[in-house]
Chain A
Amino acid sequence: MGYTISEKILLAHTGKKDIKQGEFIEAKVDLALGNDITAPLAIEEFKKSGFKKVFNKNKIVLVPDHFAPAKDLKSANQCKILADFAREQAIKNYFEVGCMGIEHVLLPEKGLVSPGDLAIGADSHTCTYGALGAFATGVGSTDLGRAFIDGKCWFKVPATIKFIYKGKLKKWLSGKDLILYTIGKIGVDGALYKAMEFSGSVIRRLSMDDRFAMSNMAIEAGAVTGIIEPDEITLDYIREVHSSQSTVHRRKQKPWTVDRGRWTDLKSDKDCHYDKIYEWDVSDLEPQVACPHLPSNTKPVSSLKDIVLDQVVIGSCTNGRISDLRISAKILKGNKIKPGIRLIVIPATQKIYLEAVKEGLAEIFVKAGAVFSTPTCGPCLGGHLGILTEGERCLATTNRNFIGRMGHPQSEVYLSSPAVAAASAITGRITHPEEL
């Protein structure tokens, strides 16, 4: 029997000849990531274990992005632990405030992840890099501390669920709508410890930014990763990243694969085993919104017209990319947000920030009455820069709407695409962009 793309990548990172679903393996990772919340604990474990040197200073990435720029004294201490460790171990891929961005947008942008890579990160949204055809998954701090020692991580080889999206997406639809729809269909444990494989003609036409948004939320269905077979769109993205100035941090690339094929050969075998296959025609799909307090509680936008808002957030590792800002600005241009509403726009990286300034998007946001923030995870996880108080309601392009996620336990978070978020900031209630 053949292998899925996920199995192929895992197999290539073990010394084994064969690999089976459900089997426990130890594999060598190409990349180990930590942030200002998870890395301090990993560093503590690493030091406690008595090891002095990390396995490979070029394969570790540290990004203070969650509570950075440091929101308070304790956060400043956590950020300093990363900076000190990076200096001590000569880790070059440490991104200080000013170079920093939201990790899962930053790493692909810096060329740090390639198709066929096995990447772990002590952050659940590490699955984002699945969009590049990498096997990428979130792990814990101790996993990261262990990877610091020997570059290895244990895995249970996941079964794969294949998702085939057919038809043609309507105007205003995005990768975010597809993934919200998918989670709504299968539930927050619908892919529990499975790999989700996104495919079909709709995926093949999606931009990388939209693919990242989809893979990003695979964890919200319980999946270990959300992977997309690389194609010309992936390779164009990689080529652009590698030819740009921003790749000083990138690792030496090694092209895929087990049989030394090319990245575009990195596909699931025809005779591989899928645990399940979902096939949906999404031609009639409406923009989707996840209602409190689960990402699976999704409804079409038109059914939520009466939901009035206090705050709108556009940003995060799901939707803080340049195309997200472009579509938001397109909708907001020449408009003012509804008085009394707060709109917070957070570009995910410095590069995106600068592009938004150069393209005039920042000006559109500010003129519309929004705040335009420095890159950070910020309010997404209730960190800073837009915390909700009791009874407040927010529509956000982020990825989780759990109880108290953005602040007070009696506040509410709805999740949507940037287009719906921007339109809703203008009307002050959940709105389909076509209504404007």
Chain B
Amino acid sequence: MIIKGIVHKFGNNINTDDIIAAKYLVTTDEKELGKHCMENIAPGFASKVNKGDIIVAQENFGCGSSREHAPRALKGCGISAVIAKSFAGIFFRNAINIGLPFLALKDVDEITEGDSLEIDLSSGIIKNLTKNQTYKVEAFPQFLQDIVVCGGLMNYVKQKKEK
């Protein structure tokens, strides 16, 4: 699967309160959540995102609360993938479970706001079309790939049950 989009850059420790503030956790609707994505730290962010855009952040992306509304809000506002130096544990599992593509990349400092990226999820190759650079991330361990291939955790469990 190929993802292409424009980069929105964020810093260290972007927590799930930043991604979606608790006051909006009264719905499970992704589109509705998406409207308020990053509101506290980047007002107007949701309206700047074009469908397919990519977030590039530093360490520990998605720390804090377990709210799965956070990756859902990212999806809901049109974000197609998140690239960061590292991800917080619960965000990591939530992203796997709901099928939000994310990549752990140490070279994020090479990428700047507004760059155009092309990500090949199957090979883990990220092309920076603006800077004419290529980065490579490691493939997920087999277990996680199995979940991703099934289209998320619930489908994975269903398929296992049906076998």
Contact = CB atoms under 8 A, between A and B. Distances in A.
B68 A154 contact: no
A404 B93 contact: no
B155 to A, nearest CB: 8
B53 interface: no
B90 interface: yes
Given A139-B90, A142-B97, A74 B154 contact: no
A72 B26 contact: yes
A74 B28 CA distance: 11
Interface in B53-91: 59-60, 63-69, 86, 88-90
A24 B141 contact: yes
Contacts of A294: 13
B161 to A, nearest CB: 7
A142 B152 contact: yes
B67 A403 contact: no
Most chain A CB inside 10 Å of its own CB: which residue of B25, B98, B152, B154:
B25
A404 B40 contact: yes
Given A150-B161, A222-B60, A41 B15 contact: no
A78 interface: yes
Interface string B8-22: 000001010110011
A45 B90 contact: no
Contacts, number: 133
Contacts of B67: 37-38, 140
Interface residues of B, number: 42
A40 interface: yes
A97 interface: no
A72 B27 CA distance: 12
Contact of A189 (B27, B86, B92): B86
B41 interface: yes
A44 B7 CA distance: 32
B68 A142 contact: yes
Interface in A101-143: 121-124, 126, 138-143
A67 interface: yes
B64 to A, nearest CB: 6
B158 interface: yes
Given A48-B154, A188-B60, A222-B89, A403 B68 contact: no
Contacts of A154: 93, 143, 147, 153
Given A37-B69, A189-B63, 6 more contacts: A37-B22, A37-B25, A48-B154, A75-B26, A141-B94, A294-B13
